[in-house]
Amino acid sequence: MKTNKTKIMGVLNANEDSFFKNSRFSESQAITRIEALITDKADIIDIGAVSSRPGSIPVKPEIELQRVKNIVDSIYEQKLYEKAIFSIDSYEPLVIDYVLNKGFKIVNDITGLQNEEVIKLTAKYNATAVIMHMQNDPKTMQESPTYKNVILEVEEFLKQQTQKAESFGLKDIILDVGIGFGKTLEHNLLLLKNLEHFKYMGYELLIGASRKSMIDKIVTSSIEQRLPGTLAIHLESINKGASIIRCHDVKEHYQAIKVQEAINTQEEIR
């Protein structure tokens, strides 16, 4: 099986309730931030306008589009899509249709393509879909999540959704086991430890554990203090087969990944 180049997906939130305040940007700040992410070596820039933190409330699609529209228009007008790949963190057809028509290439769907309209739109534009696993929805996902076997249940969901997506003609798929989305600390750790299990499916694997509360459950820490734990999770995930890392701290991840790659290119002396 081929090894995919590790890609860094930088996060930009166009909403006021994202859990990490340093990832929130207004329209006026957004383009400056995007240019900085590109300078810091982000391969992909993932833009979202609705928080998916535990307990968050969904907003109307029209409001979501209103939040990202001017940013998306500026990206298109300035041809920034020629400098990085742009991804939309959304599951709303109204929003997805608008951005795919403006140079965006990835649909990052936390609901795992449960809406067939999203599959059809992504296929229509020959875009890539990220299929993520989540138990329940953001409002209720952390209310006592339970599994008989988290590995097998996540695998079954991803397998089912990839088959469905391909039946609609969607060709480019990325899988995300959904760290922190309807999982306890133990569930998250099991998925990370067994990430290689999902490689047989033949798709790129994305991991996004940036500054998440699982780190606080291991070592008590505020959101601002969780960069070291984030890097530990993400570097280990790369060793286990992940090739796309979604993070808030692109510059730090780039350095850490380059050092890891330099070590891994050396031969072992036996």
Q: Which residues are marked as active site? A: 212, 246
238 neighbors 35 (Cβ within 8 angstroms): no
97 neighbors 62 (Cβ within 8 angstroms): no
Give the 3-state secondary structure of residue 47. Answer: strand
Token pair, residue 140, equals 């209720």
DSSP codes joined into one string, 174-219 = EEE--TTSS--HHHHHHHHHTGGGGGGG-SEEEE--TT-HHHHHHS
For residue 76, count other CB atoms closer than 10 A to its CB: 16
User: Which residues, including other chains, have CB under 8 Å from residue 195's CB and lie 6 or more apart?
Assistant: 177, 205, 207, 237, 240, 241, 242
Start-to-end CA distance of the chain, whole Å, equals: 26
256 neighbors 235 (Cβ within 8 angstroms): yes
Of 97, 95, 162, 157, whose CA–CA distance to 127 is shortest? Answer: 97
What size, in residues, is the chain?
Answer: 270
> What is the DSSP secondary structure assignment for residue 265, as one 8-state letter?
T
Token pair, residue 240, equals 């286990």
